[in-house]
Each structure stands twice: as structure tokens, then as C-alpha cells.
Amino acid sequence: MTLDDHQIERYSRQIILPAVGGRGQQALLASRVVLIGCGGLGCPVALGLAGAGVGHLVLVDDDQIELSNLHRQIAFTEADVGQAKVTVLAQAVAARSSTSITHVVERASEHNLSELVAEADLVIDGSDNFSTRFAVSDACVRYRKALVSGAVSGFSGQLLAQSASGRPCYRCLFEEEPDHAPRCDTEGVLPGAVLAVAGMMVQWSLLALMGRPEVPYGQLLQGDLVSGVWRSIRLPQRPDCHCHASIELKT
């Protein structure tokens, strides 16, 4: 793919970065990303990736916009309340970029993730529940796709980069769903916390798509979004991980 004059000007401020250059920009324009969840994390992630020139975005969510979403889900307005999040987010992305968009008004699950993940260059998980996160991670392991996963609760943020090898994976971190799974509707959240995590998700995703070595695969990044202190934890691969065991039995 050769960059035309319009693309060179549009993406000039990132092309001049040694880590990007023309080759990195070409990789972004040729990439296909599946984004699970179009809420607080999904909105800024989708807009950020499209702004950087990601070629194709597949948006997946079955939820509708509520008034209580608007303080942190930055692609939506009060006029959008009641509409499907994926539909409105797709329109917002299209208005700001030339990114090709597929929107899937379904909940991501083991029933549809195989088809979605198999064609992706990268999968990003901004969902808000453990069952979806487990299913997404499992599908990425099965199809050997890299995954960037983010979560926010209260003033705490969490990011995980899972390599295409799937070792370690999300189930190496959480073998089973915790008894208490915090959610924004019960724990609360400020928009700055969401944007902080989403910004890191965009950064890691762009680096991954360009094949950069800086992506911290196999590490969990935990942040205190009041103090601004982050800590990185290298995850061990669980020898009894259910995901790897089931994949190996099927192959």
C-alpha cells in the first residue's frame, strides 16, 4: 500500500515519529480490529483508532444508550438515548475518519466470537463483565490473535496485553469469575478514569498493529487513577489453565 498525499498530510504528526513512519502508517491502514464493547472504554478507543488511520473497525455491542451513560461515553448525546450504541458509535467514527466500519448489534459470546476473531489482526476488549472477557480471551487463544483488554471500576484501572500465543491469557489471571465483580452502575466512575485507561488501550493497540516490540505482552498494568501511580505485574502462565487445556484437547 502506497500512501497518497491526503494520507501523508492527515497522518503527518504520527508519521514523523520514528516508531511509526510510512511503514507503520501503512500497517495501520491495512489493519482490521475487532472492538468488543462500545461504552465508556469503547467510545474513546474507537475514535482514537479511527483517528490514527486504522483501516477497518468491527464494533460489537448489544446495549442501548442510557442517559446515565453520557457523562463518560463521549461519542453520544442526549438525542441518542434509546438507540443502539454500535450504530451511533459507527456514525460518529464515520463522520471523523475514512475508517471502514462493521457494526454488530449482538452481545459477544462463544457463539459469535469465532467468526469475529478469526479475521482480526487485533482484538480489543472494553466489555464490562467477566463472562464476556473470558469468552473473548478464549477465542483469541484459539485463533492465536493478540488481545488488549481494559477495565475501570471506581478509581482503579486495569490493562492486560495478551500476545497471539495466548500464554499467559486472561484465565491465567482469573481462573473463575470473582464472587463480587465491580461495575460502574454499582461502584461509580469518573470520566477521567475511563479516558486514562482508554488512552493506554489505544496506545498499546496501535503499537501492536505496527508490530512494535514495546507492547508489554503478558503484563498486567494496574493504576490508581487518583494518585496517578501505575504498577506493572508480570503474569505467570498457570499450568492448570482451563483455556489452554481445552484448546490443546481440541487441536
Residues designated catalytic: 184
Residue 42 contacts residue 126 (beta carbons within 8 Å): yes
Residue-wise DSSP of 1-58: ----HHHHHHTHHHHTSTTTHHHHHHHHHT-EEEEE--STTHHHHHHHHHHHT-SEEE
From 234, 243, 75, select the one nearest 175 (Cα to Cα).
Answer: 243
b or e along 98-124 (b: 16 or more beta carbons within 10 Å of the residue's beta carbon)?
ebebebbeebbeeeebeebbeebbbbb
Residue 7 contacts residue 53 (beta carbons within 8 Å): yes
Cis status, amide bond into 168, omega within 30 of 0 = yes
Residue 147 contacts residue 137 (beta carbons within 8 Å): yes
Angle between helices 42-52 and 85-96 (to 10 degrees): 30
145, with CB counted inside 10 A (0-12, 13-18, 19+), is buried
CA pair distance 149, 205, nearest whole angstrom: 10
